[in-house]
Structure 1
Amino acid sequence: MNASLFLPPFPTLARLSQQTTAPLQALVRTTGYRLRPPRAVEHTPRVTTRQARLLASGVVGPQACAQIRVEERSGSLPTIVVGGFVPDATEAFYLLRGGLLKFGSVFYLNYPRRSFSTDLFLAQLEDLIGEIVATRGVRPALIAVSFGAGLVLELLRRAAERGEPAPLAGLTLVSPVACTADLIDLGAPKPTTLLGRVLLPYLRGTGAPDGALVEKSRTVFLRMFESGAQNRSALRFLLTRDETQRLRDAVIGTINAIDAAGAFERVRALNHLPAPAAPRVLFSGPALVLYAEKESAVLQENAPTWLELSQRTTAWLPQGRCIVVTNHADHPVQHASLIFHSRNFEPHLAQLYRSIRQRPAHAA
């Protein structure tokens, strides 16, 4: 598959400034969307073995189930995407979905609003991978972002311990956050990152936080999403006015829908994820670890996951590469910025998908 499938149309024009080409790309994209509107519909799982077993145990209830949505296409390389804390995967990949859909269907896992269970989420994810393998005869690619990448690393760690490698065609981890120590140095006098300052009260508490703390968290996450005037300016060149409003409404809706229990249980889940220890192979297929050039608002300076995956990439992922995604100086790529810097991520995903297509995709 040609890498240009992921890249903006009209390559000659693409050499012009972003201010010139991006509105044209938005016009081309939205014209195509009028012919075939983007619509991720609810997916009814056909394989629920692990999920059903966990729910039957009574350890966790159905309110903790993630929502699975899908955009169906006929390609032979489906993709599963897992987002970070916010926004939902369906919004985070809005501008990248077109490239992914050229290869096959895209499945989105969105976290529950009022609860969370790592075990149940991983059960649903493993069931979905198993369903794709069983019903479509191919292995899916998996892309996970920030906190979602930490969950995927935990899935791979557990699978490796069982001696049952996950049947994936390829793996991408974007700005992975796999433990609390990635965000907060608990030995320091105070957190050094914006997100660390938000999460510390949750970690010190023993139950669901009060409404004031949750509201403060919502404000910070929304501020991080918009990143002030810089991101609002970027949005004007990436999206039409209607798209911008719909996307912002969806993100705000997601942030506001997460209640105190849901927020606390997500943070508790992160706090229970183990920090990377001695390296071991977690996935042996084509893999990509993408960090932003400006992770400082989220990752603390000595984040253990960053140190391991950037310095000993192939010890964990033998065919993996770790890349720092960059942009021009006045608009640097920030943590998991898949919306505002989609054009910077596209070439790296294109190269990975090209390498995946050069390998047998069918499940054994």
Structure 2
Amino acid sequence: MNASVIPFVQKTIGNHPAILGVVTAATGILRQMAIKPFTPKNRRREFKLKDRVASMHATRAQIFKEKGSGSTPTIIVGGFVPDATELVEFQRPLFREYGSIYYINYPRNGFSSAMFFAQLADLIEDINLRGKKPVLFGVSFGCGLLACFLRECAEAKDLKIRGVVMASPVLCTEDLIRPERDKSGGVRMLESNLKRILKANPAGGEEVSRQIDRARRCFQALFEAGAENRRLSSRHLSIRRKIMEVIGSTSSSGGYERVLALKQFAQPGGDLPIFTGPALTLLAEQEDNLLVPTSPTLAALRDPAKSRQLFPRGKVRQVISHSPDDAVAHASLIFHHQYYNPLIETWYDKLLAPMLFAVV
């Protein structure tokens, strides 16, 4: 389509709700056609847990695959919301150039870190048996899961991983919640909600449900704040609809168990690195608007010496907007993809450069 025609088409669609609804639905259908359910051939780790979890159905994540043209696949692990399949909508073409994309969507009615680690290990092993090594791409809460997997799961040491990318990492509860009496810089909306959830009595179902409902409204508000004053494309609107569906369909127990998983994350530190291979950390310029001022992860990653301890072969890059009125917020891959993508692409190119030279 001629570039001069695009603004006219966008304006026409935006002024006609019926057309906009059709285009939004079509966008969602096209994504579903490209992204298909995937099951590793061998799920031995997953099945070992069948007697250790309350319900396999409630704690199993859904895995999806989108075929790419390269030989370096990427595994996407998202934050609390949205699903991994929607989170990187504007990075999909980039990832496909390097290889297939595997998405891990969290279960709606429960969560188990042990089950997640088992499924991730089975998936990586399946990819390794195809002669490939994946890049693990985590966002926010998903980075904490990856850090736990890489540091604490013994089987992770035997798996072949090409590299790790962490966007706006949340590696411990203390990144989002300060000590009780510390209110410097104001209390953030997400911080307030998480504190209420963690204080709720798990035996009182109504109390947990009430606090999870508050959290739902919080995540909806965070997305709407990112969308404010923007001209949203059909892709944005399709993602918005899916995000709201995910928020609404995640049960109280599912949301609560995800927060409990966050509580189990250990603060970054010590001599043990998270990953010794190639790594990229992407910090948004406004991380401090969501993460608390005392965030251990931000402190570590902003200190070159401590950052090298966590990722000896890692790079830390700040994602900065070219517009002073539109600063990049925490994990804003959807609304600020034009600033994330060049950094991601450059890292992937350098990651694969030795392989290309070896072939030549």
TM-score between both structures, scaled by the size of structure 1: 0.84
Report the alpha carbon displacement of residue 166 of structure 1 after superposing the two structures with TM.
Answer: 4.5
Moved over 4 A (4+): none
Q: Which moved more, 1:51-60 or 1:323-332?
A: 51-60
* Residue matched to 1:289: 281
1:114 is aligned, of 109, 113, 116, to: 109
Question: What CA RMSD, in Å, does the superposition of the two structures yield over aligned residues?
Answer: 2.9
AA in 2 matched with 1:204: K
* Identical residues among aligned pairs (%): 33
Aligned-partner SS, 2:164: strand
CA distance in 2, matches of 1:246, 1:326: 26
AA in 2 matched with 1:91: E
CA distance in 2, matches of 1:139, 1:72: 15
* Residue matched to 1:150: 144
- 1:233 and 2:229 aligned: yes
The 5 A counterparts of 1:195-214 are: 195-207=190-202, 208=205, 209-214=207-212
Q: Which has the higher contact order (CA 8 A, sep 6+)?
A: 1
* Residue matched to 1:141: 135
CA distance in 1, matches of 2:254, 2:53: 19
1:338 is aligned, of 330, 333, 352, to: 333
The 5 A counterparts of 1:22-61 are: 37-38=30-31, 39-58=34-53, 61=56
CA distance in 1, matches of 2:57, 2:156: 29
Change (3 A) 1:165 1:333: farther
* Residue matched to 2:268: 276
AA in 1 matched with 2:272: R
* Deviations 1:121-172, CA, capped at 9 Å, x for gaps: 11111111111001x201001100000000000011114x678264211110
CA distance in 2, matches of 1:324, 1:73: 28
CA distance in 2, matches of 1:245, 1:162: 40
* Residue matched to 1:97: 92
AA in 1 matched with 2:163: G
Change (3 A) 1:62 1:107: same
- 1:348 and 2:343 aligned: yes
* Residue matched to 2:292: 300
Aligned-partner SS, 2:302: helix
Change (3 A) 1:166 1:348: farther
- 1:170 and 2:163 aligned: yes
Change (3 A) 1:235 1:71: farther
CA distance in 2, matches of 1:302, 1:184: 9
Change (3 A) 1:79 1:333: same
Stretches of structure 2 lacking an aligned partner (at least 5 in a row): 12-22
8 Å CA contact retained: 1:292, 1:335: yes
Change (3 A) 1:46 1:197: same
* Residue matched to 1:217: 215
Aligned-partner SS, 2:288: coil
CA distance in 2, matches of 1:279, 1:343: 36
Change (3 A) 1:219 1:355: same
Q: Which moved more, 1:210-219 or 1:174-183?
A: 210-219
8 Å CA contact retained: 2:328, 2:336: yes
- 1:185 and 2:178 aligned: yes
* Residue matched to 1:326: 320
CA distance in 2, matches of 1:86, 1:148: 10
8 Å CA contact retained: 2:197, 2:212: no
TM-score between both structures, scaled by the size of structure 2: 0.85
- 1:85 and 2:53 aligned: no
Aligned-partner SS, 1:102: helix
Change (3 A) 1:152 1:122: same
CA distance in 1, matches of 2:228, 2:39: 36
CA distance in 2, matches of 1:249, 1:129: 31
CA distance in 1, matches of 2:139, 2:271: 21
Change (3 A) 1:81 1:124: same
Aligned-partner SS, 1:267: helix
CA distance in 2, matches of 1:259, 1:175: 26
Report the alpha carbon displacement of residue 233 of structure 1 after superposing the two structures with TM.
Answer: 3.1
CA distance in 2, matches of 1:232, 1:103: 33
CA distance in 2, matches of 1:252, 1:94: 16
Aligned-partner SS, 2:344: helix
Report the alpha carbon displacement of residue 258 of structure 1 after superposing the two structures with TM.
Answer: 1.0
8 Å CA contact retained: 2:68, 2:95: no
8 Å CA contact retained: 1:156, 1:166: no
- 1:252 and 2:247 aligned: no
CA distance in 1, matches of 2:301, 2:211: 33
Q: Which moved more, 1:212-221 or 1:182-191?
A: 182-191
Stretches of structure 1 lacking an aligned partner (at least 5 in a row): 1-8, 14-18, 25-29
